[in-house]
Chain A
């Protein structure tokens, strides 16, 4: 519903101007520029541009390294999402039981959200450190396998997944706690009277009721993992060892900013844009019940 109370032919434009200026100068213009770059061959210093149509895309899609970064992104996003969403659901279910000291427990669960992924990465780097870290030390009692993230790609991937999932936990827990508290107490009591134990209640009542939140969080965590996880990769592994942790965003940065391959980075931007549009659409489909925008 729209209300129009005030009349002025100029004031609304003044009011929306700052937001529109930032949007056009730093969002629309650069996005169109990326779109344009993706269709040109640009010399490394940007002085000559040649229109080459879709060549940047065909080259990119013929490059096994690009597929590697796509696969890495999928593994990374799936790992982070499963760990952070499932972990949060279990923790939120525990933190909404009728017990004492709930406020303290909840505070102790929410704070990791404040930690920058890059800082979290540095802390986990030390925990995983092959020479000084506490984790390889204790694992060495169990197995002689060398858990060295500098040499083994999957260890490096595990490291960045763990560090990222850690920072997502608080966010997801806050959502689940809100969702779980919204379940009418009578429903749970009814199940209790019918003799359903805690596990059964969780499986047949709680889980279905929070499934919209779960879908929503899955999409949101994927978006974060795909687009906001540059810091953890750059601070910890720099995409290595080999290209084992080069996710799409990191490859875009490396090719564009370090390799100065502007055409390819433009093409990569366009592909990422398509991805984020898809994920945002998905997110709004699941958020529909919670928020209305019309």
Chain B
């Protein structure tokens, strides 16, 4: 294929040299721009709409035809949503959960990958396969019994119950393993000659080399933790321990008699989605790297 490609390339070059032409209007580029803008408008509309509703008062929300431009009640809606449902506490819980899950997964994966790559010990292969099998045991599959285990440990409504059962990570372990395997063996041998033990080697040599991977993983795992639903729903039943994604559902009016406070719900939705979306936008490079490498 590459031989054909090179030959074709030659023809392109010759053609260009033989007949330099005036550049025509870039119709193709214009069409691509137009299509992209149209698609992005469609993809972005739900978020825009949620934002618009979060800035309106109740009359504007229910008015027909629907009002599709922002109004002036942004601050009071967000303050009201914040006050009404302990938004501060819920955002805090989500933050604790997301950071603890991400950091926990990274630490235990780093350690087990280090052991598997740099040591020869009985049960190494067994450990490797046990980690691999966790890929096939997502939460719903072991729902009731995991709940029972957490209950037995007395971890219901606690941060450790919320986070520790989620911190095993096959993908993060594989990612670190792949990365360690790319590091020349000579580095470890040199470190050893300098008298560095395994722990010093891990912290002074491997860790500094791993920051890019850690940052990428952190972005993806933070979003994973922040957006959890089923697990926090099971493990927490007090208001003080609710995460924001769960708490939001409680705002939805389920009977016809309740007032439709959709502006407050959308204000809550904006607050719940902003942290993970902001992380993607500000850490886009790491996000894409983390996604492609960790695949989950």
Q: Do A and B bind each other?
A: yes
Residue interface mask A1-38, B partner, CB < 8 A = 1:
11111111101110110111011111111110110010
| In the assembled complex, A122 has its CB within 8 A of some CB on chain B | yes
Task: Give the 3 A-B CB pairs with smallest separation, nearest first.
Answer: A231-B229, A190-B8, A186-B5
A-B contact pairs, 15 of them (CB 8 A): A12-B121, A15-B115, A19-B127, A19-B168, A19-B173, A25-B165, A26-B146, A31-B141, A91-B43, A114-B279, A115-B227, A132-B61, A137-B66, A175-B292, A269-B140
Q: Looking at chain A's contact residues, is the secondary structure mostly helix, strand, loop, or mixed?
A: helix
Using a CB–CB cutoff of 8 Å, the interface residues on chain B facing chain A are 1-2, 4-6, 8-9, 11-12, 15, 28-29, 32-33, 35-36, 39-40, 43-44, 46-47, 49-50, 53, 61-62, 64-66, 68, 107-109, 111-112, 114-121, 124, 127, 130-150, 164-165, 167-168, 173-174, 178, 181, 185, 188-189, 192, 197-199, 201, 223, 226-227, 229-230, 233-234, 245-246, 248-249, 252, 260, 262, 265-266, 269, 272-273, 276-281, 284, 287-288, 291-292, 295
Using a CB–CB cutoff of 8 Å, the interface residues on chain A facing chain B are 1-9, 11-13, 15-16, 18-20, 22-31, 33-34, 37, 90-91, 94-95, 97-101, 105-120, 122-127, 129, 131-132, 134, 137, 166, 169-171, 174-175, 177-178, 184, 186-187, 189-190, 193-194, 198, 220, 227-228, 230-231, 234-235, 249, 252-253, 256-257, 262, 265-266, 269, 272-273, 276-277, 280, 287, 291, 293
> Which of chain B's residues have a CB closer than 8 A to the CB of A230?
140, 229-230
* Among A122, A234, A273: residue with most chain B CB under 10 A: A122
B144 touches A34 (CB 8 A): yes
Q: Give Cα A103–Cα B140 distance, bound, in whole angstroms.
A: 37
Name the contact of B145 in the complex, choosing from A9, A29, A123, A187 (C-beta under 8 A): A29
> Which of chain B's residues have a CB closer than 8 A to the CB of A99?
29, 32-33
> Which of chain B's residues have a CB closer than 8 A to the CB of A293?
132, 174
> Which of chain A's residues have a CB closer than 8 A to the CB of B197?
6
> Which of chain B's residues have a CB closer than 8 A to the CB of A11?
115, 119, 198-199
Kindly report which residue of chain B lies nearest to residue A170, judged by CB atoms: B280
Name the contact of A22 in the complex, choosing from B11, B168, B226 (C-beta under 8 A): B168
How far does the Cβ of B248 sit from chain A's closest Cβ, in whole Å? Answer: 6
B29 touches A169 (CB 8 A): no
Q: Give Cα A269–Cα B164 distance, bound, in whole angstroms.
A: 22
Kindly report which residue of chain B lies nearest to residue A101, judged by CB atoms: B33
Q: Give Cα A91–Cα B36 distance, bound, in whole angstroms.
A: 7
Q: Give Cα A127–Cα B4 distance, bound, in whole angstroms.
A: 52
How far does the Cβ of B233 sit from chain A's closest Cβ, in whole Å? Answer: 7
B185 touches A134 (CB 8 A): no
Q: Give Cα A111–Cα B111 distance, bound, in whole angstroms.
A: 31
A5 touches B185 (CB 8 A): yes
Kindly report which residue of chain A lies nearest to residue B41, judged by CB atoms: A108
Known: A175-B291, A235-B248. A134 touches B174 (CB 8 A): no
> Which of chain B's residues have a CB closer than 8 A to the CB of A95?
36
Q: Give Cα A117–Cα B32 distance, bound, in whole angstroms.
A: 30
Name the contact of B119 in the complex, choosing from A4, A23, A171 (C-beta under 8 A): A4
A117 touches B265 (CB 8 A): no
> Which of chain A's residues have a CB closer than 8 A to the CB of B62?
131-132
Q: Give Cα A256–Cα B144 distance, bound, in whole angstroms.
A: 7
Known: A30-B148, A123-B50. A114 touches B277 (CB 8 A): yes
Kindly report which residue of chain A lies nearest to residue B174, judged by CB atoms: A293
